[in-house]
Amino acid sequence: MYKHYYISFNGSDFSEIYPAGSPICDYNQVEGTRIWREELEKIKLLRVNNATVFDTLESYFTDKTKFDTELEIEIYTGLRATGTIYFKGLFSISDSALDPELKTFEIKPRVNDDYYDIFEKFDRQYLVGWQSPFGSLITQRIGYSISTALSSSWTNGPITTGALATGFDTFIGVGGSIATAISSGPFAEATHILTTIGTGDIVVLEVTAKGESINFTFDIIDTSADSITSEGEKTLDSTGTLAWTSAARNTTPSILMSSQAGTTEDLAFNVRIVQAANDHLLSAGLLMDFLEDFLTDALGMYLTGYASNVVSTFLNNDALPTGAPSTVSTFMTANAAGNYVTGTTDNDLNTTLIGQLFRWFADNNTDAYKLSFKEITEQIRDILQVYWFIDADGKVRFEHEKYFVAWVTDSTPITVPATGEVDKRLLKYEKSQIASIEQFSWPQSANTDFIGKDILYNNFETTNNTKSYSMS
């Protein structure tokens, strides 16, 4: 069916255009990925066939405010109202070429598919690392760290009876925000329970605000009020960061906050737990969190549509998408916590993944550095043979090469004729064997009565080929 071409200058109203020739649309694989995208040849418009559209494009070409305005191209098999979409693309004047003398305009559209937004920023670099502007990434530094939610529950007073300290005379605090803490002395304390801390874990307490007040002392203690850390009590007289290393596993640790006589106001802090180097049970999930942050954070690619939509069955045992390969689906249905590549029933990737997290987010004071989504996905590909794509449910998905091989296995094979059958099915004219002139001769041709005349075939389909026949 005949194809129809349309252009829109405002994203809603489309005008039909009439290109010179019929541009061809091909599918090409994006280098280093398992993604195939459409690519359209240049569209050439002649003013004689597209006067109104041509004049508008020409005016855009000389208007600096229109230089990067995105215009839309759509191609349909049939009419736009009733036909089938063949290609959707975007272009700007910067993608075009104008010949004002010959009155021609060439357009090179970029395909407007599900991948468009990501590939527009694919090579753009953003800051990552310990001092990166990604607030959410700073809370995912190595081990990797877990932001610890502080509830509103503070206990004003010693955690054990018979302690020398007392509670604060006035204590108004919710989680990591202490509005007022007044002590008449000589010593007051309050506690807040934390989540389980493992041996070798690092507890980081970051004081982000502190009004005019006396110094405060912090520690991480058990139910007997003994420190469970290697360092013990630490005192802070201004904003800053404190850290402790846990000497033993504890399921009911608490923050101990204490001070001498005086008043503290507007104290704010947060707490995170950095898992020990030999405890990596959450590293796959943390890797997925980082990838999601990179795609969606305002200081990153800022593609908010992918919030909660960055997944991986191979890395993180996320649910499979619609249309997943049958062999992978069968295995994961029977082994929801398994690894479809190794065939193990428990996914054992975390130890491998933590090494990559260490590379990206070393827990130190080194400066932030830049990475692009292309560079990140290339590193994941090279280390784990994992490729990204957008699945049938519209999620950015990271899966192992085996996933794509299984997809091919599921596909309908194309039957290719055997070598000996190909020519038998192909019909064509052998023009070299078609005569343009035929000449006949007889044995009696010495007699002028038997000299034949040439037969001429004035058919442009024939070649300059003379055939001679002897009638003996």
Q: Do residue 283 and residue 395 come from a single domain?
A: yes
400 in Cβ contact with 34 (< 8 Å): no
In a domain, 118, yes or no: no
Q: Do residue 21 and residue 54 come from a single domain?
A: yes
Q: Do residue 289 and residue 310 come from a single domain?
A: yes
- Ranges of beta strands (E only) in 149-253 are 155-156, 170-174, 177-183, 188-193, 202-209, 216-221, 234-236, 240-245
Q: Do residue 386 and residue 291 come from a single domain?
A: yes
pTM over 0.85: no
Partner residues linked to 197 by β-bridges: 250
Q: Do residue 231 and residue 305 come from a single domain?
A: no
pLDDT of residue 142: 41
Mean pLDDT to the nearest integer, 22-42 = 88
pLDDT of residue 147: 63
The answer to whether residue 463 scores a pLDDT higher than 80 is: no
Partner residues linked to 171 by β-bridges: 181
pLDDT of residue 363: 44
Least confident of 22-26, 219-223, 442-446: 442-446
Residue-range definition of the domain harbouring residue 292: 125-141+279-410
In a domain, 186, yes or no: yes
The 10s digit of each residue's pLDDT in 413-435 is 766 666 555 445 555 656 666 67
Residue 188's nearest CA partner among 218, 159, 158, 160 is: 158
In a domain, 417, yes or no: no
Q: Give percent above pLDDT 70 in the chain.
A: 77
pLDDT of residue 4: 93
Q: Do residue 341 and residue 406 come from a single domain?
A: yes
Q: Do residue 44 and residue 164 come from a single domain?
A: no
For the chain, the domain total comes to 4
Q: Do residue 74 and residue 130 come from a single domain?
A: no
Three-state DSSP at 161 gives: coil
Tokens encoding 8: 């829109």
Least confident of 143-157, 218-232, 312-326: 143-157
User: What is the CATH classification number for the domain harbouring 182?
Assistant: 2.60.120.260
The answer to whether residue 144 scores a pLDDT higher than 50 is: no
Mean pLDDT to the nearest integer, 294-316 = 92
pLDDT of residue 433: 65
pLDDT-based confidence at 279, cuts 50/70/90? Answer: very low
pLDDT of residue 443: 61
The answer to whether residue 364 scores a pLDDT higher than 50 is: no
Mean pLDDT to the nearest integer, 274-298 = 73
The answer to whether residue 452 scores a pLDDT higher than 90 is: no
pLDDT-based confidence at 467, cuts 50/70/90? Answer: confident
Q: Do residue 299 and residue 372 come from a single domain?
A: yes
Q: Do residue 15 and residue 86 come from a single domain?
A: yes
Please count the helices (runs of H) and the strands (runs of E) in the chain.
10, 29
In a domain, 244, yes or no: yes
CA distance 247 to 191: 20
Q: Do residue 205 and residue 219 come from a single domain?
A: yes
